[in-house]
Amino acid sequence: MAETYTPTEGMATAAKRALQWHADGKPGGTLVGLARANQLKDRSPLTASTVLRMHSFFSRHEVDKQATGFSSGEEGFPSKGRVAWDMWGGDGGQTWAQQKRDQIMRDRESKALTKKEINMDELKNSVLVAFATSYSFYLKTAGFHWNVVGQDFFEYHELFGEIYAEVYGSLDTFAEQLRTMEIQAPGSLSQILDLTLVEDCDDMPAPIKNAMVAELLMDNETVLETLKSAYNMCDLYGKFGFENFLADRITAHEKHSWMLRSSQAI
């Protein structure tokens, strides 16, 4: 059974505080943050993947502590950043996640020494397919954003726009992650088309929401499959920095699936 990690009482207290702020209508945090806060308040055991995502969150949002309203007594307290910060366990959560992350990395590095010799071709193909499939999904979603029509045009124009912008924003970092492993990032459409698992869209589906949403939902599931495959490969071969990046991409595309699926609900 995979090892789990139990949050501290201090983390639970911070999460409860954030949930109360949220109930009082204070802005800040996301649906993922709310889910994390509910885990922490109950001190539910967390998987290694969740611990690594917590560490990634705190690393990205450390800068929020510099904003006015983050600390008690400041104007605008609690700021959006403070609400989100405490949803993930606050300062205690940051320290805990760093400690647990270091422990997880040491354990994984130790295990990696006993695994088979790295087959770079196998690893390279997995991450390149994930990159190309993500790029193709971005391009198709952008096309649907531009071309959707109908009574609900604005709603779906905005939905597709939000998704394609988020995916596009990840591609540069994705390419840089490839370069850290001395893998050349695809730089032409022909290379993308050779690698992607998202079918090209020569014939645009009927420019109405239902057809476009259904196709993007199917394609997003394909993206998730490639990301999870690449994640597992990076874990096997001890590429833990890339693995953390892919974990964040999986979380993002799971949210895209939720948004697309919810837009189809009657």
Query: Do 240 and 183 belong together in one domain?
Result: yes
What CATH number is given to the structural domain containing 127?
1.20.1260.10
- Do 133 and 258 have their domain in common? yes
Domain hosting residue 168, numbered range: 120-263
User: At how many degrees (to 10) do helices 240-263 and 90-112 cross?
Assistant: 120
Residues 124 and 249 both lie in one domain: yes
CB atoms under 10 Å from CB of 105, counted, come to 17
Asked if residue 113 has pLDDT above 60, the reply is no
Which tens digit of pLDDT belongs to each residue from 216-247? Answer: 999 999 999 999 989 988 888 888 889 999 99
Query: Do 222 and 108 fall into the same domain?
Result: no
CB 67, CB 84: distance < 8 Å: no
pTM: 0.60
What is the domain count for the chain?
2
**Could you read off the pLDDT of 152-186 as tens digits, one per residue?**
889 999 999 999 999 999 999 999 999 999 999 99
Read off the pLDDT band of 33 (50, 70, 90). confident
Q: Is 4 strand, coil or helix?
A: strand
Do 14 and 93 lie in a common domain? yes
Listed residues 91, 112, 133: the one ending a domain? 112
Q: What pLDDT, in 10s, does the model give residues 179-190?
A: 999 999 999 999
Q: Quote the pLDDT of residue 166.
A: 96
Tell whether 176 and 90 lie within a shared domain.
no
Interatomic CA distance for residues 4 and 19, integer angstroms = 24
pLDDT (tens digit, 9 = 90+) per residue, 34-90?
989 999 999 999 988 788 888 878 888 888 899 999 999 999 999 999 999 999 999
